[in-house]
Structure 1
Amino acid sequence: MTYREQAYRPPAEVAGLVLAAGGGQRLGGRPKALLVHEGRTLVERAARALHAGGCAPVHVVLGAASHEVRRHAVLGRCVLVENPDWEEGMGSSLRAGLDALAATRAGAALVLLVDQPGIGAEAVRRVVSAYEDPGSLATATYEGRRGHPVLLGRAHWRAVGESAVADRGARDHLRAQGAAVREVECADVAECHDIDTEADLRLLAP
């Protein structure tokens, strides 16, 4: 099902979740969270996109070089979550983030990866607008291909946590839900490229 919301209605029930714990092994061990794009670290940009897109609260999952991230990144409006198991992959960070959000009243989590600086507030707004209730599931698409951000209704958190292993995140759970996942086209307002390797650094503005 393709879903496109024309009017933005910011629901307070959607929390933001930035996965920013990776160690950047293919970047020579430089944590992606501290890479800079247009004058701000990637973790700051991701958190700002979630805030501006209507998410509250915003949790940021840290792991590799978390002390440096805490020292250098401006994240005063965020709840910082430590993932001691970050080396296990993105799945462990997703579990840590959802576990932390379980203590809030959020009806859904809007998940954004720290290494996708081309995704901003407008894409966040569109996917947030797909929220209806704690059973909601939605994902951004880019010319029909699924990507981030991803909206996970609270009713799915347990199942997502059980299937999130290594770097798979919520992928298996979303696939199993089939047409229940709303797809929100975002290619006209965002770019979903990842900053994974040294070659990808060219995508970051000086």
Structure 2
Amino acid sequence: MTAGGAVAGRPVVAAILLAAGEARRMRGRDKLLEAIGGRPALRHAAEAALASRADRVLVVLPPEAAPRREALAGAAVEIVVAADCTEGMAASLRAGLEAVDPGTDAVVILLADMPEIGSEAIDRLIAAFDPAAGREILRATAADGRPG
């Protein structure tokens, strides 16, 4: 890693997979555990992130998530618990962002209930990010428009 966080001349990118939602519309079933091609949707989404050029993959889960943890067993992901996930997606996003290393240059936010987003799409986002050329995909700003 170099001073700007870059590895071998490229930005360090973390993927945050948001998987802490309650899936209330599924009438008791967990949509992230629904089988797609014999594997849970959550596993598909995690494997796509792992197959991408992201340097780290963090999966944000609710506190009580044993079945979701089982679906991720053996995957080289880092689990982040969003204790306040019942407050909504912003709480999960906050938990994921707080777990990102300070030397990380960019973050790709992924939704676990979109298992058909493959590594190729994630890699296109990562490739499009080039802060040296002023090509941020999305950048947070303060109310007055200043980056921050």
Provide TM-score, normalisation by structure 1: 0.58
Q: Which residue of 1 aligns with 2:5?
A: none
Q: 1:130 to 1:12 in 2, by over 3 A?
A: same
1:123 maps to a residue whose letter is A
Distance 1:121 1:76 in 2: 15
Unmatched 5+ stretches in structure 1: 1-9, 139-151, 161-172, 178-206
Q: Which residue of 2 aligns with 1:24?
A: 23
Distance 1:70 1:108 in 2: 26
Distance 1:109 1:63 in 2: 20
Quote the offset at 1:72 in angstroms: 3.5
2:112 maps to a residue whose letter is V
1:128 counterpart SS class: helix
* RMSD of aligned alpha carbons: 2.9
Q: Which residue of 1 aligns with 2:61?
A: 62
| Residue deviations 1:158-189 (CA, integer Å, cap 9, x gap) | x69xxxxxxxxxxxx9xx97xxxxxxxxxxxx
Write out aligned runs for 1:166-185 (5 A): none
User: Which of 112, 115, 128 matches 2:113?
Assistant: 115
- The count of corresponding residues between Structure 1 and Structure 2 is 137
User: Which of 128, 135, 142 matches 2:126?
Assistant: 128
Quote the offset at 1:137 in angstroms: 3.3
The 8 Å contact of residues 34 and 73 in structure 1, kept in 2 or not, is answered as: no
| Residue deviations 1:56-113 (CA, integer Å, cap 9, x gap) | 1100000164122113433530100001111111111111100111x35211111110
Distance 1:109 1:94 in 2: 11
Identity %: 35
2:107 maps to a residue whose letter is A
Unmatched 5+ stretches in structure 2: 1-8
Quote the offset at 1:133 in angstroms: 2.9
Q: Which residue of 2 aligns with 1:46?
A: 45
Q: 1:65 to 1:123 in 2, by over 3 A?
A: same
Write out aligned runs for 1:7-22 (5 A): 11=10, 13-22=12-21
1:117 counterpart SS class: coil
Q: Which residue of 2 aligns with 1:188?
A: none
Which structure ranks higher in relative contact order (CA pairs < 8 Å, sequence separation ≥ 6)? Answer: 2
